[in-house]
Amino acid sequence: MQTPRIRLSPNGPEFSRVVLGLWRMHSWDMTPAERLAMLEQALELGVTTIDHADIYGSYLGEALFGEALALAPNLRSRIEIVTKCGIKGVSENRPEYGINHYDTDRAHIIASVENSLRDLRTDYLDLLLIHRPDPLMNADEVAGTFESLQKAGKVRHFGVSNFTPWQFDLLSSRFPLVTNQIELSVMHLDPLHDGSLDQCQRLSMAPMIWSALAGGALFSEQSPRAERLRAALATLADKYGVSATTVAYAWVLRHPSRPLLLTGSRRIAATREAVAATGLSLTREDWFTLWSASTGGSVP
The CA-based dihedral angle spanning residues 88, 94, 99, 100, taken in that order and rounded to the nearest 10 degrees: 30
Nearest to 46 by CA among 74, 18, 77, 75: 18
Please name the amino acid found at residue 122: T
The terminus-to-terminus CA distance of the chain in angstroms comes to 39
**Rg value, the chain, Cα:** 19
Would you tell me how many other CB atoms lie within 10 Å of the CB of residue 128? 27
C-beta of residue 17 within 8 angstroms of C-beta of residue 250 = no
Nearest to 248 by CA among 263, 264, 237: 237
Give the SS3 label for residue 123: coil
C-beta of residue 117 within 8 angstroms of C-beta of residue 124 = yes
In angstroms, rounded to a whole number, what is the distance separating the alpha carbons of residues 38 and 27? 15
Among the residues of 88-160, which ranges form H helices?
106-120, 139-151
Nearest to 226 by CA among 214, 238, 208, 237: 214
Tell me which residues are annotated as active site. Answer: 56
In angstroms, rounded to a whole number, what is the distance separating the alpha carbons of residues 92 and 82? 24
